[in-house]
Structure 1
């Protein structure tokens, strides 16, 4: 009756938690890191994926299922990018086996990962906490009305003939031309719509016989289905993943071919992102796909105008009996993932935890730094280690570009993340403001994030003397200049580019002005002679700041965004 357990190794276990940027799989990064990850195997780096589970009736004791997977070119593609590069850096440095426990859920707010006692101190959560602890069924109704189902015995209406927009021989001569990329507003679409796009290709026999094929259509907001010669080669159900669709030999033909995308969007800002590749790769041959597209907006039956003198028939409503329904929690509900996913992980002995989250709390959680510090204090108790290393990945750059600082959004979350590392002992911040894209919440160039987090681990978990990102420690006003002092100077501050950008100073009315800056020894000097009674300094205080990041230390670690009152 014994059990045989194979391939047992002893090493360091790290827990990775947060939302979708902690989940981004390696398969999305092949354009950037493919040559590396597709030629790397390591049986001593393994990942365990914790299944998504909400629980409100108390901490769960174990997982329903799960298994460990070692890193190979085949298994790694579904692994998460940040933990993967973190683990490789730790292994390369210490030659110790590294176990990744991946415990993250996309779109979640920090409240979902917090314990009830963390939130009990905030009155606005009292009613929600009570509802979740003691769910009350919704009042029973005598019935409700719904449409769409035919009463018993009623014949269904025959479906209208469907046009196959993916077919090679479709007559699209009256479709309008369009350039990639573009947004729906550029083709006069202001509401929700389904748009079909077609592009013809004329290939040689050699091109059509290619075995290593990849169609790249950037990133589209919101969802798509994509076909070549009527064969579906890929689909994506939401906005963020790049539309990179690999397909096999045999779909392409010598001569004329057609690409067709069925794209569904929900407003004028739906469409294709700028700054991405639109091309077809056939082995080493690359065919640009920016020009030559045609499009057609599908006319929905319920949107068609009725012939003159006719009115639309009223929908037949069907009476449906309903019963009392239990309270249904949403992704944002507090403590569900803490009980359902985090607490079972606490059965393990771990070396540290890594946190990458904040997007879903942008603009709604002014006390994010305190939330995060309180949550991590509870996690440390759960893991039975009051000095458990905590590594926090600061949010990267994203959202629309602006010139002046903004009052809310990602900048506030970054500051909360920075402050949390000061409220907690043995914690480290990984700065990511020089990474990301304004139009894609999920950057694929996450290797530096993983490796910077690993440097934080070297200090907090392995006792190494390493230099992290500089942080401002003091701002002094003297003789019309502000002098900024920093920690983590290392071998000195350096500027990448022609000048230092990103600094702004407020006057006595709270209005901010951008200011010039220069390096003076190990300090930064801001020139504020024209500002009336300067009050506060902000650095990189915007959502998208990547293009303003120029100030680093000599160890190539960017200065952390911050705000600070003058002394």
Structure 2
């Protein structure tokens, strides 16, 4: 008689959702070279583990069904059963703090908790392992629980990503089958944390900018040195918090934005140490590889805030991340939905605008990459807006393609006889709100602002430019005042276009 034991990777647990109508990959770790038999309904497939004990099996596509099934794995006299498995649609939500932002901290949570009813949304929070000590076989933090798939209920939705929660409500409303949400995020992180270390080292630019500074920061330091640096940082944070509280007590009528204008923001980042989760390649190793056998319908990537200082390198980071994850998940056409950063005043030198430009360019250069701009949202001095309902619903509508598969963006541009013509995708008509302007810079760096109100015809924008125009910008600042929307009220993505040799192109 078979004994029960672990055969599947932790990602595979009771109550999970798998994508319907796609080949499904299963995997895990057993004794090296032992056989593994996997049974799903009437189909059984056999394979053997490799020298490290790792195994994987791909199963044929399975139709969507509300009927739950069980999956049975057997190996070396042991068996493991995954019960209550559903086939529907599965979405990976990944990135940093704004997608990590929990529903329990979101401004509409109490009302959502009262009214929430659900029998079709399930979620899996990937454990936030920061470091794995292979020599001692220990994980940090040491108190992390194993991840498990859960049916979303009033009692546990507070632990979901707020944005993923609101998106899942839209998806569940408009799709008859089960919805699976996989949350994989960690606040304060660069995209370099989510890439393999060897890939970063292979690029001279990324190696010089991310790997070498990390190595220099930890070089020739003892544990005592690292601990002292941490104490000094904690003292700075505590002093900042005290200053914040004192100022708020003295001026209770002031908003948080106004307070931060005076006392500044929480010190960040903390000092680097070898086991820091902020190290290059760290979270790819400790978090993404936990779900390497996953199969997904879409990836929602909301990140970039911590790379605003790395804006010149973000295009290479982002394209590598998309390609690497597609390779890991064995899906070359895996769709990515990039969440274009919201407005935020405090970045320097339009760095937030530069990240948005990279995100826009990625949708034009990389197949199966789409954009959801939330650049019309955000708070001027609060990097973590507490309204996640508005962006979450927008993301859900785009994933479900209720209106369009993405927000409006440039699909074509032409420059001729001092006239710039822009064709906008995902819009039949464009409307003008607010006092939005196109900012035109000439070769002598003279700035002229042209109002956009009379430049529309359907989804076309035409701008007559002065002689010697070098660039045209729309919303290309950290906290833009966007005023161009499609018929569903979705914002046109901010952009910067350069004019060179009588031709127009998106700037880097």
Both proteins in one fold, TM over 0.5 = yes
Q: Which residue of 1 aligns with 2:301?
A: 355
The aligned residue for residue 24 of structure 1 is 101
The residue number in structure 1 matching 2:263 is: 269
Q: How does 1:234-383 map to 2 (within 5 A)?
A: 268-270=262-264, 328-383=274-329
Quote the offset at 1:5 in angstroms: 5.3
Q: Structure 1 residues 561, 140: closer, same or farther in 2, change over 3 A?
A: closer
Distance 1:108 1:384 in 2: 25
Partner of 1:225: none
Distance 1:218 1:36 in 2: 26
1:138 pairs, out of 220, 227, 230, with 220
Change beyond 3 A, Cα 1:483–1:43: same
Q: Name the residue aligned to 1:428.
A: 370
Gaps of 5+ in 2: 5-79, 229-239, 267-271, 504-508
Would you say the 8 A contact 2:344–2:478 is kept in 1? yes
- Structure 1 residues 218 and 516: alpha-carbon distance in aligned structure 2, compared to 1, 3 A threshold: closer
Task: Note the alpha carbon deviations across 1:277-297, whole angstroms, 9 max, x for none.
Answer: xxxxxxxxxxxxxxxxxxxxx
Could you report, residue by residue, the CA deviation over 1:406-432 in whole angstroms, capped at 9, with x for unpaired residues?
853100000111112223211210010
Q: Deviations over 1:220-253 (max 9, x none)?
A: 899xxxxxxxxxxxxxxxx9xxxxxxxxxxxxxx
Give the conservation status (yes or no) of the 8 Å contact 2:370–2:405: no
Residue 13 of structure 1 is matched in structure 2 by: 90
Distance 2:389 2:226 in 1: 52
In structure 2, distance between residues paired with 1:142 and 1:347: 39
Pair 1:550-2:483 in alignment: yes
Give how far 1:559 is off: 0.4
Give the Å deviation of 1:377.
0.6
Distance 1:453 1:469 in 2: 10
Match of 1:512 among 435, 447, 470: 447
Question: Deviations along 1:354-400, whole A, 9 cap, x unmatched?
Answer: 10000001032313123211111110110011011111101011115
Q: Does 1:440 align with 2:382?
A: yes
Matched, 1:107 2:188: yes
Distance 1:442 1:373 in 2: 25
In the alignment, the residues of structure 2 paired with residue 131 and residue 363 of structure 1 have an alpha-carbon distance, to the nearest angstrom, of: 14
**Cα 1:75–1:515, aligned 2, differ >3 Å: closer, same or farther?**
same
Counterparts in 2 of 1:52 and 1:511: CA distance versus 1, 3 Å:
farther
Structure 2 counterparts to residues 37-48 of structure 1, below 5 A: 37-48=113-124
Distance 1:117 1:34, change over 3 A: same
2-structure distance, mates of 1:329, 1:513:
50
Deviation at residue 103 of structure 1 after TM alignment? 0.7
The answer for the alignment partner of 1:561 in structure 2 is 494
- Superposed CA RMSD: 4.0
**Superposition pairs for residues 225-240 of structure 1, below 5 Å?**
none
Change (3 A) 1:57 1:374: farther
CA contact (8 A) 2:350 2:476 kept: no
1:234 — aligned with what? Answer: none
For 1:367, what is the secondary structure of its paired residue? helix
CA spacing shift, 1:37–1:11, aligned 2, 3 Å: same
The match for 1:290 is none
Which residue number corresponds to residue 175 of structure 2?
94
Cα distance in structure 1, aligned partners of 2:375 and 2:313: 21
CA distance in 2, matches of 1:341, 1:352: 18
**For the residues of structure 1 that align with 2:153 and 2:222, how far apart are their CA atoms?**
53
Query: Is 1:13–1:351's contact at 8 Å kept on the other side of the alignment?
Result: yes
> For the Cα contact (< 8 Å) 1:9–1:44, is it kept in 2?
no
Distance 2:132 2:323 in 1: 21
Partner SS state of residue 442, structure 1: coil
Aligned residues: 395
Structure 2 residue corresponding to 1:525, chosen from 462, 482, 495: 462
Aligned mates of 1:56, 1:376 — CA distance in 2: 24
Contact 1:549-1:558 at 8 Å conserved across structures: yes
2:424 equivalent to 1:486: yes
TM-score, length of structure 2 as denominator length: 0.67
Alignment equivalent of 1:473, drawn from 411, 417, 438: 411
Q: Show the counterpart of 1:541.
A: 476
**Given the superposition, is the C-alpha separation of residues 438 and 12 from structure 1 closer, same or farther in structure 2, using an over 3 Å criterion?**
same
User: What are the equivalent positions in structure 2 for 1:155-174 lying under 5 Å apart?
Assistant: none
The answer to whether the 8 Å contact 1:376/1:390 transfers is: yes
- What is the SS of the residue equivalent to 1:43? coil
Distance 1:442 1:377 in 2: 28
Q: CA separation of 1:512/1:117 partners in 2, compared to 1, >3 Å: closer, same or farther?
A: farther
Q: 1:80 to 1:465 in 2, by over 3 A?
A: closer
The 3-state SS of whatever aligns with 2:181 is strand
Confirm or deny: 8 A CA contact 1:19 1:107 kept in the other structure: yes
| One of 50, 66, 74 as aligned partner of 2:155 | 74
Once the two structures are TM-superposed, the CA of residue 485 in structure 1 deviates from its matched residue by 2.2
Structure with more contact order per residue of length (Cα contacts < 8 Å, sep ≥ 6): 1
- Residues 40 and 67 of structure 1, relative CA distance in 2, 3 Å threshold: same
Normalised TM-score (structure 1): 0.61
Task: Indicate how the Cα distance of structure 1 residues 472 and 142 shifts in structure 2: closer, same or farther if over 3 A, else same.
Answer: closer
Q: Which whole-Å CA distance do the structure 2 matches of 1:520 and 1:145 have between them?
A: 60
- SS of the residue aligned with 2:86? coil
In 2, Cα distance between the equivalents of 1:509 and 1:108? 39
For 1:9, what is the secondary structure of its paired residue? strand
